[in-house]
Structure 1
């Protein structure tokens, strides 16, 4: 049975041609482009920086078990990020591509 780590590895390989690479963010494995993180693996969830209010953000939040990403675990979630459980790993690729587009389009605010 594939693990969250193996799904992450497949995704990292898949996105390599887009200029994305594996890295570290919040002390966790992440996907980066141009020094900016757009996906972060935490436990059995992969969190995606989709942009609050975007269609992809809204669609990700309705997936069973998904939630706003709280990397510290202290009740301070990031509004632009959605953590999606590995039960929906078949959708991780589409969500990663949406997050990558969000980052590379300059649509996110760096403040």
Structure 2
């Protein structure tokens, strides 16, 4: 796992999230709703909701893209994959994702 993801996970678990696994990768959820996943290519994928300002802000970051788990053809349009060189932004968007699924 990545040390930045580990730090985010500790912080968000303290706020009510739980840590789990999805397709062999660590992920965070609230209840049964997943909102963040550390991907095999070192990205953080975050559920932000395609019509939110946070989604638009995340996609505007260099290297960010819509998330297609496993690099497949199926795109999760509510999710943004944030690259490792944007780690300083990960917590901001992970918290936005947690709040989104907590509603």
1:30-109 equivalences under 5 Å are: 30-42=27-39, 43-105=41-103
Residue segments in structure 2 that go unaligned for 5+ positions in a row: none
TM-score by length of 1: 0.86
**In structure 1, what is the Cα distance between the partners aligned to 2:84 and 2:70?**
20
Runs in 1 of length 4+ with deviation above 6 angstroms?
none
What number of residue pairs does the alignment pair up?
Answer: 102
Q: TM-score, normalised by structure 2?
A: 0.92
Task: State the 1:75 CA deviation.
Answer: 2.0
Q: CA RMSD in A?
A: 1.2
Partner of 1:108: none
CA distance in 2, matches of 1:37, 1:25: 9
CA distance in 2, matches of 1:102, 1:92: 15
Structure 1: gaps of 5 or more residues: 106-111
